[in-house]
Amino acid sequence: MGASIGTFIRIGAHSHIKGLGLDEKGKAKFIGDGLVGQIKAREAAGLIVKLIKEGKMAGRAILLAGPPGSGKTAIAVGIARELGEDVPFVQLSGSQIYSAEVSKTEVLIRAMRKAIGVRFREYRRVLEGEVVKFEPHFAPHPYNPYQRIVREAKITLRTKKERVTLTVGPSVAQEMISKGVEEGMVIMIDKEGGHVSVLGISKEASVPKYDVGRIPMVDVPDGPVEKEREFIYLTTLDELDELFHKRYSGGGFFSLLFGGREERKEIDPETRMQVDKFVKEAVESGKAEIIPGVLFIDEIHMLDIESFSFLNRALESELAPIVIMASNRGFTKIRGTDIVSPHGMPLDILDRVLIIPTEPYKPEEIREILKIRAREEKINLSDEALDLLTKYGAEISLRYAIQLMAPAWERAKLHGREVVSVEDVEAVRERFASIEESVKHLKEWEERFLK
């Protein structure tokens, strides 16, 4: 029996969101980029995006505050989409900081430094062109007369304006052989380091062309063979921390023989200071630029007083990202204390954040959200089924209504229907309990449950 192979598609809770759905003047459309309603919150988020792009939000924090299912995470995802791929966006849940391997502050430090990008720019002299002739010269191995090694190679490169013949050393020649460099290929050789890159096969070359396993076709380079090119590398402070940590935490020769010491889970402050110094020097010399990204901490009320104290101090650092927090709590105790505070956060943190409130969705907004989710999950709903789900979303919760769609769709298919009917929705409604019904069930059978 044959099996069809298709593209794997992961439909997430917010995979339909493409942005904040704003017009040119920053006004929110009722439906835009997968978001519905929350007009004031989306317009406020749009202003935050502008400040981030202009570099005026570094070291500041935003709090998305609202009841469950009011679109806080959706707005944060919309902000990430608006910022684009170059701006780092790191998502962290408040409960993730409690790890047995590393301390709470280490988790927060890593998350913050992952959210700070560094773009390095480097100019290097390279040799670039189509390979017209490649002649490696071999010599007997000094220790094994039955083996030959490459001694040097002569290579002729051409561009549209120039043809140059060069002699390259054994390391470059060996790398060219290992990468299968042949006549007709367009290559680039780093003149300082000797690294060889195969860019493709020249469109003008008369070489065999394959449909499978082929090398991309490229144009013959223009200008001289030897030229200066700019290379751009995008990384984060956290990746540089790991690089410096591995470089300076080795145990030498004996660690290779006996396994060495166990690598530390946490990176010491001295290493991070070295990284910061290295990055600042690169920025001052014009070789790098810092890209402040966004750290989104969901369930911020899960942090304890120590974590809040650290976060408050970290926001004052020179190299601090934009921190977006979300909480669905009202007045509750700050974790680790008996102090009751709004959103379960200390007042000194709340005093320095911009708060964006979100409100419960109205029935007409719930209806549009359900239509978007149904379209994203390729579920066909009848108008009557959509009306019933909208009613459940308003009376129970939006999340509950969304979660009923998939089982209702499966039931419709089992009964040979291509559209979800009211009967399908009512059937799954009877079989899947809401939170209130689950609590009622728990109280009814409380004596039978384990304590």
CATH assignment at residue 86: 3.40.50.300
pLDDT score at 6: 46
Q: Residue 213: pLDDT above 60?
A: no
CA distance 34 to 16: 6
User: Which residue did the predictor score with more confidence, 99 or 417?
Assistant: 417
Return the closest-CA partner of residue 153 out of 140, 136, 134, 130: 136
Residue 22 lies in a domain: no
Last residue of a domain, one of 357, 384, 401: 357
Q: DSSP class of residue 181?
A: -
50, 139: one domain: no
The sign one gets for the Cα dihedral 202, 203, 204, 208 is positive
pLDDT score at 349: 84
pLDDT score at 3: 42
Residue 247's contacts (CB-CB under 8 Å, 6 or more residues apart) are none
Q: Residue 43: pLDDT above 60?
A: yes
CA distance 110 to 292: 14
DSSP β-ladder status, 294-298 and 148-158 = unpaired
Q: Which two tokens stand for residue 267?
A: 């990176």
pLDDT score at 250: 55
SS3 294: strand
Tell me the mean pLDDT in the region 137-142: 83
pTM higher than 0.75: no
Tell me the mean pLDDT in the region 414-442: 86
- Domain boundaries, position 210: 119-289
280, 302: one domain: no
DSSP β-ladder status, 353-357 and 340-342 = unpaired
Last residue of a domain, one of 229, 258, 289: 289
Q: Residue 14: pLDDT above 80?
A: no
pLDDT score at 211: 56
203, 265: one domain: yes
Residue 451 lies in a domain: no
Q: What is the pLDDT of residues 276-290, one digit of tens each?
A: 888 888 888 888 888
Q: What is the pLDDT of residues 162-191, one digit of tens each?
A: 888 888 888 888 888 888 888 888 888 888
pLDDT band at 219 (very low <50, low <70, confident <90, very high): confident
Question: CATH no. for residue 226?
Answer: 2.40.50.360
Tell me the mean pLDDT in the region 83-107: 79
213, 150: one domain: yes
Answer yes or no: are the C-beta atoms of 316 and 59 closer than 8 Å: yes
Tell me the mean pLDDT in the region 217-245: 84
pLDDT score at 256: 43
Tell me the mean pLDDT in the region 142-168: 85
89, 161: one domain: no
pLDDT score at 13: 58
Tell me the mean pLDDT in the region 126-145: 85
User: Which residue did the predictor score with more confidence, 200 or 205?
Assistant: 200
CA distance 415 to 412: 5
131, 221: one domain: yes
Q: Residue 270: pLDDT above 50?
A: yes
Q: Residue 252: pLDDT above 60?
A: no
Return the closest-CA partner of residue 396 out of 437, 364, 344, 351: 437
Q: What is the pLDDT of residues 295-322, one digit of tens each?
A: 888 888 888 888 888 888 888 777 778 8
341, 407: one domain: no
Return the closest-CA partner of residue 181 out of 163, 203, 196, 162: 196
Return the closest-CA partner of residue 406 out of 382, 390, 428, 387: 428
134, 243: one domain: yes
Q: What is the pLDDT of residues 333-364, one digit of tens each?
A: 888 888 888 888 888 888 888 888 888 888 88
Q: How many structural domains does the chain have? A: 3
Residue 63 lies in a domain: yes
pLDDT score at 255: 46
Q: Residue 153: pLDDT above 60?
A: yes
157, 225: one domain: yes
pLDDT score at 20: 85
Last residue of a domain, one of 239, 262, 289: 289
DSSP β-ladder status, 116-140 and 185-190 = antiparallel
pLDDT score at 274: 87
pLDDT band at 207 (very low <50, low <70, confident <90, very high): low
Residue 443 lies in a domain: no
Residue 446 lies in a domain: no
CA distance 28 to 43: 6
pLDDT score at 173: 86
Question: CATH no. for residue 376?
Answer: 1.10.8.60
142, 123: one domain: yes
Q: Residue 96: pLDDT above 50?
A: yes
CA 241 → CA 205, 246, 291, 295, distances in Å?
A: 45, 9, 16, 18
Q: Residue 259: pLDDT above 70?
A: no
101, 159: one domain: no
Q: Residue 5: pLDDT above 50?
A: no
pLDDT score at 263: 52
Mean pLDDT, rounded, of the chain: 81
pLDDT score at 66: 86
Residue 53 lies in a domain: yes
Residue 444 lies in a domain: no
277, 247: one domain: yes
Best-predicted range by mean pLDDT among 24-28, 349-353, 407-411?
Answer: 407-411
Answer yes or no: are the C-beta atoms of 293 and 89 closer than 8 Å: yes
Residue 19 lies in a domain: no
Cα torsion through 280, 285, 291, 292, rounded to 10: 30
pLDDT > 90: percent of the chain: 1
Tell me the mean pLDDT in the region 384-388: 90
CA distance 413 to 428: 13
